[in-house]
Structure 1
Amino acid sequence: MARNRTHTITDWDPEDVEAWEAGGSRVARRNLIWSVAAEHVGFSVWSLWSVMVLFMPTDVYGLTLGDKFLIGAVATLAGALLRFPYTMATSFFGGRNWTVFSAVVLLIPVSATIVLLANPGQPLWMYLVCAALTGLGGGNFASSMTNINAFYPQRLKGWALGLNAGGGNLGVPAVQLLGLLVIAWAGDRQPYWVCAFYLVALVIAGIGAALYMDNLAGPGVDLAAMAAAVRNRHTWTISLLYIGTFGSFIGFSFAFGQMLAISFRDQGQTVAEASLHAAQIAFIGPLLGSLSRVWGGRLADRFGGSAVTLVVFLGMIVGAGVLIAGGDSIAACALGFVLLFVLSGLGNGSVYKIIPSVFDAAARALPLDEAGRAAYSRSMSGAVIGIAGAVGGLGGVGINLVLRQSYSATGAATWAFVIFGIFYAVAAVITWRVYLAVPRDRDAERETDRVSATLAS
């Protein structure tokens, strides 16, 4: 392993146990720490509007409940779509370089949010554009995960990817908790303190990445890898599973606070009281979901990603059932959502463990040398991580739109959770059929045959 003064590492091989023990693990850990920091702040910016809507009384800003759900959907959509180009960015620009850029560029939407909230009465499209720009923070996930996937050996990927993603996901409850503190201290008309904090945090994350992270030279995720991943059936199977796990996490993260505020207002509370009480609870779900993601990766390392994912979806069916049966009960709402957040976090970690496992198994049987197998596994895993992350994020868009339609049509969210429960049942069946009922060696063999034919041609 060689490294020059430009923070570029050549000949990186995390599977070399001797090199790993001699210092490779410390290099990987340092990059992981600052990757988590930058991704954490990125997630907070992406989730910024889930908090800002609590500071936006209808009589002041003129936005309806449907408008606020739409703002959340646009932010989620932008973050999901940006994950496609962000997946390839570390290969083109380097993991360190891109992490610095992706942190600094978020100063734009945070500053724009301050300006918008300081000047109420702007047209809806301006809020939607600003929310879309916060989606740049959602794109950080794909580049961060692809980068860390390349730093760690196969035996530690579940833990490393779970920790990286979990630390990033913690940005959601962090911004919501900060919003609660600001509401309690400064009232519901002064959201600027939330944004000001993240202006400082982004600068710190960018400087830390510049000083302590590295670029990896060698094969990565390029257009060829993305094209190969698009043609691979596992990409779309895993993406569908990730819609159910990460889509639920990010979609509910944007919607939970608003739903709680609606419930509190239905009990006769004022808008300010409802916002404060919703903020006191809303951060708990994303917090538990973020923490459980790390354990989802650990459990997947031990029991297999597909087995853990199946249990997760079965549990999420129960969680949706609690919300359906609970009706307008705030206690049932909180219990059902906490269950869904914890399980979706576990599933986020376990689904991502499936990705390197599938392609590592396929690579081992390819007619290539060890370097070629490692390059194939690394590039394909990275590409599928990015694609699945993007498609999974689109699930969050769907959740906000389905909830918006359910409230518009019936005044409640019951039918939305019926739809979610059906989806979780379908995902459980697919997990069982594709990754558990069919022996893994046969599955990998089919993938190997397909790749071998491609290489031969």
Structure 2
Amino acid sequence: MAATLTRWYPENLDFWLTRGRFVARRNLVCSIFALHLNFNVWMMWSIVVINLPAVGFQLSDDQRFWLVAAPPLFGAMLRIVYSMVWSWVGGATWLALSTLILLLPAIGVGFVVQDISTPFWVLFAMAALCGFGGGASASHLSHTGFFFPAARKGYALGMNAGIGNLGVSVAQLLIPLAISVPLFGHLAGAPQIWGHGEEVRQVWLQNAGFMWVPLILLGAWAAWRYGNNMAGVRLTPRDQLNVIRIPHTWYVCLLYMGTYGTFLGFAAAFPLLTSRMFPLEDVTGYLFVGPMLAALARPFGGWLSDRIAGSVVTCGAYAVMALSLVALLLTLPSSSDAGHFTAFVCVSLVLFTAAGLGNGSSYQMAPKVFLIEAGRRAAREGLDVNTAYADGSRAGTAAMNVSSVMAAFGGFFIPKTFGWSLALTHGVALAVLIFLAFYLVALGVCIWQYARPHAVVRV
């Protein structure tokens, strides 16, 4: 059972070196493994949905985009609860319980994809259950951060978030392999006949869900056995309500939504979008690369921000993302052009990488913005500096919780906008133009609020 720590002093060097760092690292490993699994399950449908028509499911474009948009939508909603509930249940206890909850979508998906008569609402419900994987980072990152001193907090959270985000690309790499073999023999059920063009073969689509079950059980057991709860930590809705009145909360929220939302949204939509735009191309081997580049670029974006400035890196990321969308428009097929598949993939990889860099840089901006504002307030009103900085740190954390929730909604809006654009115009150019307009607005906000020479807060 997860033990509760009643005394924890990570800023005390002697305590940290003799005991603290070992306990902190153990909890970090448990959190990384669990968060990675959550992302595996969260983005499962990005691969499942492109295989459904090939095994006999009759689904419209709009329905398929709904299936990839549902997990981010419900994941974003769950983040509101997850960001606080861990502090009341206990961090390690919640880590174990929230990991066990993943059994519902993992097993559920494994059963429903075996019957092509399964109604759309059941498929949608299973996709929505995968949203449990989306709520995890709101609790896992907050819990892990309390174990580390300020000087090591960035490293710990970067490792946790970075390796966790890699769960998207790992799922998109492993699921196509797992469904091609009888991974569990007759225990998992009979194979389906997969057909696309002249290619016909057997697949075990149920493995897309069942393959995670043993790992989920292992992750839950590890968190329960080796994790620790932290006494005296209680987060309330008041913390979030206080910061939503502050304009800077919404500025950093906008910036983080554009970068993290792009990572999530395009990771969810890219497999379906690519197969829809280029139906004659085999896209399986390319699907995991973009999310992998974004996940790997995230810690580099934070590192670069510490050496240049977070606002400069974020502005650069948005500029590259905007240019990538312009280039993407030129690669799309039209009534007179079959499109340019290789260029489409290459431009998409640039977009993923820029989003990852901006993800890392915008994430580290919020704490700095609120700490600078806290320091100014202390000087202006004669407040105790330590108390002011503590309040600023708490406000920055709450602001990032709000940003995390809003950013996850980007994972819903991007695939749903693609589906809406296809239904309305039979193409995705309109959706790309909407995203381009958003990037330009975010770039303008970043320059005006944080990057220009006379900005109110330069970070």
- Counterparts of 1:261-410 in structure 2, within 5 Å, are 261-265=275-279, 267=280, 277-327=282-332, 328-364=339-375, 366=378, 367-368=383-384, 370=386, 372-373=387-388, 375-410=390-425
Counterpart of 1:54 in structure 2: which amino acid? I
Aligned to 2:203, the other structure's residue is in SS state: coil
CA distance in 2 between counterparts of 1:438 and 1:203 reads 53
Q: Which runs of 5+ in 1 are unaligned?
A: 268-273, 445-457
Report how far residue 220 of structure 1 moved: 4.5
Q: In structure 1, what is the equivalent of residue 208 of structure 2?
A: 194
Q: In structure 2, what is the equivalent of residue 451 of structure 1?
A: none
The answer to which of 246-255 and 400-409 deviates more is: 400-409
Q: Do 2:2 and 2:224's aligned partners in 1 also have CA atoms closer than 8 Å?
A: no
Counterpart of 1:397 in structure 2: which amino acid? F
Q: In structure 1, what is the equivalent of residue 155 of structure 2?
A: 159
Counterpart of 1:320 in structure 2: which amino acid? L
- Counterparts of 1:54-65 in structure 2, within 5 Å, are 54-57=50-53, 60-65=56-61
Q: Do 1:166 and 1:290's aligned partners in 2 also have CA atoms closer than 8 Å?
A: yes
Q: Do 2:179 and 2:206's aligned partners in 1 also have CA atoms closer than 8 Å?
A: no
Q: Do 1:221 and 1:379's aligned partners in 2 also have CA atoms closer than 8 Å?
A: no
Counterpart of 2:331 in structure 1: which amino acid? G
Q: In structure 2, what is the equivalent of residue 133 of structure 1?
A: 129
Q: Do 1:146 and 1:385's aligned partners in 2 also have CA atoms closer than 8 Å?
A: no
CA distance in 2 between counterparts of 1:77 and 1:196 reads 23
Report how far residue 219 of structure 1 moved: 4.1
Report how far residue 229 of structure 1 moved: 2.0
Say which of 223, 230, 233 aligns to 2:237: 223
CA distance in 1 between counterparts of 2:210 and 2:344 reads 32
User: Are 1:249 and 2:263 matched, yes or no?
Assistant: yes
Please identify which structure carries the higher helix content: 1
- Counterparts of 1:68-147 in structure 2, within 5 Å, are 68-147=64-143
Report how far residue 369 of structure 1 moved: 7.1
Counterpart of 1:395 in structure 2: which amino acid? G
Say which of 234, 251, 254 aligns to 1:240: 254
Q: Do 1:54 and 1:188's aligned partners in 2 also have CA atoms closer than 8 Å?
A: no
* C-alpha spacing 1:217/1:306, structure 2 compared with 1 (3 Å): farther
* C-alpha spacing 1:121/1:208, structure 2 compared with 1 (3 Å): same
Counterpart of 1:331 in structure 2: which amino acid? T
CA distance in 1 between counterparts of 2:299 and 2:31 reads 15
* C-alpha spacing 1:403/1:78, structure 2 compared with 1 (3 Å): same
What TM-score, normalized to structure 1?
A: 0.87
Q: Do 1:238 and 1:388's aligned partners in 2 also have CA atoms closer than 8 Å?
A: yes
CA distance in 2 between counterparts of 1:331 and 1:112 reads 36
Q: In structure 1, what is the equivalent of residue 336 of structure 2?
A: none
Q: Do 2:2 and 2:223's aligned partners in 1 also have CA atoms closer than 8 Å?
A: no
Report how far residue 241 of structure 1 moved: 0.9
Counterpart of 1:325 in structure 2: which amino acid? L
CA distance in 1 between counterparts of 2:234 and 2:351 reads 34
CA distance in 2 between counterparts of 1:176 and 1:21 reads 39
The answer to which of 311-320 and 360-369 deviates more is: 360-369
RMSD value, Cα: 2.3
* C-alpha spacing 1:159/1:235, structure 2 compared with 1 (3 Å): same
Report how far residue 302 of structure 1 moved: 2.7
Q: Do 1:46 and 1:137's aligned partners in 2 also have CA atoms closer than 8 Å?
A: yes
Q: Do 2:74 and 2:131's aligned partners in 1 also have CA atoms closer than 8 Å?
A: yes
Q: Do 2:84 and 2:236's aligned partners in 1 also have CA atoms closer than 8 Å?
A: yes
Q: Do 2:42 and 2:131's aligned partners in 1 also have CA atoms closer than 8 Å?
A: yes
Q: Do 1:158 and 1:350's aligned partners in 2 also have CA atoms closer than 8 Å?
A: no
* C-alpha spacing 1:417/1:6, structure 2 compared with 1 (3 Å): closer
1:318-374 per-residue CA deviation (whole Å, 9 max, x = no partner) reads: 21122012222111210111011111111111111112222333445643474x456
Aligned to 1:112, the other structure's residue is in SS state: helix
* C-alpha spacing 1:29/1:381, structure 2 compared with 1 (3 Å): farther
Q: Do 2:311 and 2:451's aligned partners in 1 also have CA atoms closer than 8 Å?
A: yes
Counterpart of 1:152 in structure 2: which amino acid? F
Report how far residue 113 of structure 1 moved: 0.6
Aligned to 1:215, the other structure's residue is in SS state: strand
Indicate the percent of aligned positions where both proteins have the same amino acid.
32
Report how far residue 140 of structure 1 moved: 0.3
The answer to which of 11-20 and 419-428 deviates more is: 11-20
User: Are 1:205 and 2:219 matched, yes or no?
Assistant: yes
Counterpart of 2:68 in structure 1: which amino acid? G
Aligned to 2:117, the other structure's residue is in SS state: coil
CA distance in 2 between counterparts of 1:379 and 1:216 reads 17
* C-alpha spacing 1:21/1:305, structure 2 compared with 1 (3 Å): farther
User: Are 1:148 and 2:148 matched, yes or no?
Assistant: no
CA distance in 1 between counterparts of 2:35 and 2:369 reads 26
CA distance in 2 between counterparts of 1:407 and 1:398 reads 14
Q: Which runs of 5+ in 2 are unaligned?
A: 183-200, 333-338
Q: Do 2:2 and 2:226's aligned partners in 1 also have CA atoms closer than 8 Å?
A: no
* C-alpha spacing 1:225/1:11, structure 2 compared with 1 (3 Å): farther
Aligned to 1:12, the other structure's residue is in SS state: coil
Report how far residue 290 of structure 1 moved: 1.0
Counterpart of 2:221 in structure 1: which amino acid? I
Report how far residue 185 of structure 1 moved: 4.2
Say which of 45, 50, 58 aligns to 2:46: 50
CA distance in 1 between counterparts of 2:132 and 2:224 reads 19
What TM-score, normalized to structure 2?
A: 0.87
* C-alpha spacing 1:392/1:282, structure 2 compared with 1 (3 Å): same
* C-alpha spacing 1:163/1:8, structure 2 compared with 1 (3 Å): same
